[in-house]
Structure 1
């Protein structure tokens, strides 16, 4: 694996870092202040930042193809996603934020020409936002075969009934489209062919957004995490993606890149927490000397640096394997980093909070929000336990078959 980035990536990274330093970081507090005035709209500063990012050629960096994006591999995108991850909202500035990224990838790989024209193009242009509706409150959605939302063919339409929650992005007023996962063949003997995915415009009659779900008390505006009731929601049959029974296949194709993108961003969050921790320890005087003179504080800084670098290297290895051999062949490494990176970020950010004292819990630093995000990713795209279960199963089978 080559650890040296190509001239193209080095140029993009330098330009991105400059943009983050000169444009995004100075706007961080303004962004959150404007959100207080309009929780579910787009803060004016975000709109301005997006225009500047497009003009700077820093747009759709996650898209692997050159037709719609920068044409980067997963390995090439990794340092860019890490840099964007330093500020929680900055991925949107460059049109690289979830769940839009996953939805754009789904529509690019599996969408019909009509679906791409109607929904992919405005998403790529950053004109609209989107949501992905899979998780349900009444079943263990960590096993996607459990979902109960029904998608029933009725003439030229499909009728959808179900109950979803923690649907990220659904509260945003600019969210115009959801990809909904439900069952078209609940009685099929193949439990992985029961599910389908379908496009549902947010303004469709019967789509009832009940409330925003919170994460550690945060409503995560302006995207939010909606609880949604689908009550006889009727959409045209052509809104089905790929075909009946293909939902699980689409989900697996979507989740590999999505999982590793979260890990890349979390490394950026953890790196920023480490830098804040070190600066605070050097500047804060306790018991007559800087905190950095305390052995336990030095240990926290050193452990955090080691853990971040370990996670960074594992992320790069997983990305490299995805590029070389495909997502399926890299699934064990993807599971490993999905287990490692969120836990690492939680640990590092928690240490940074502790060193900041009460200030680490408040709004003057980004640490509390960062911790809530990191802790969320231990559940999003599959909880730790599911990844460990599957990874352990695969490793036991592989090593067990080799003998001792």
Structure 2
């Protein structure tokens, strides 16, 4: 299917405010309806030009200003040619002494408006070519200037150059700001994506220990089953050996693939925390000056669920220490049916902290919290409370989600 090429857009078409988008059209309309009758009257009455010729020149010099809102360069071709033709036409009549030549004032006003539109749309090279053409035509016309005429060529050269330069600078500044905003948006998206990947990598490093433990247990049980049980048939013995070999290969492949995620090799030797370590975490937070209430939970859960519950409480208490030091906090971990419910609620701090305890806090902890909960098929809800406190509530399945 052939693509439809989009036509040129009007000046300021990307502005957010409606009146800014309509501003170029309004200016062009005012210039057109003002300069058209004025040009006809001045050329016919003051300069003595034929009425039909004066009307044709006035239309060619003013109506294309409406086109300049969308296609300023094409409008310049018409207006520039009409201005030069008008100057040559004035040489055929006996103009009174003191009249402006080669460009009457109304032509200069329209041409400056056109130069502003050009500067807001065209490239620097095009603007330079337009100004050089203006200078060349004006200098050439100066050699044919009638006696007694008040020359306006130098004024047009200066004003057109200033208009082109000013509008071009404004356009360049707008483009720089637009690119900066676009780059900031891209950078923010990249930061969010990098944060998510870092949290997933951290989770993968921790869950790697859990999975590796289970795979090791499978390998050992399959290897030793024939020795721990008497009378194992040869077929079963061969199947157990095959299971052990497969588990061993899987364990090696997993370590090879996930080993690149390791940044701190020594941390591999430390056991991953679970529900039983939450009490120690609460005690450490209380020593930091946060009054915490906690009822221990003795529910048996898998290592992945226990690790996720521990990290949720850890991140929630860390946020209390950072953002609400001294606030009364309640930590609840309980079993509800087939779900493990974790709730961490803190009230408002006794007094607003003079400064944040961590000036460079990134706020990425909630991202990792959501990723952990999503990975094992749970749900999490976080948000502020009406009294100024904060609540973190998560529900985790007691049995790990089957991904097969």
Structure with higher strand content = 1
**Length-normalised TM-score, structure 2:** 0.22
Look at both structures and tell me which one has the larger radius of gyration over its CA atoms: 2
**Length-normalised TM-score, structure 1:** 0.22
Structure with more contact order per residue of length (Cα contacts < 8 Å, sep ≥ 6): 1
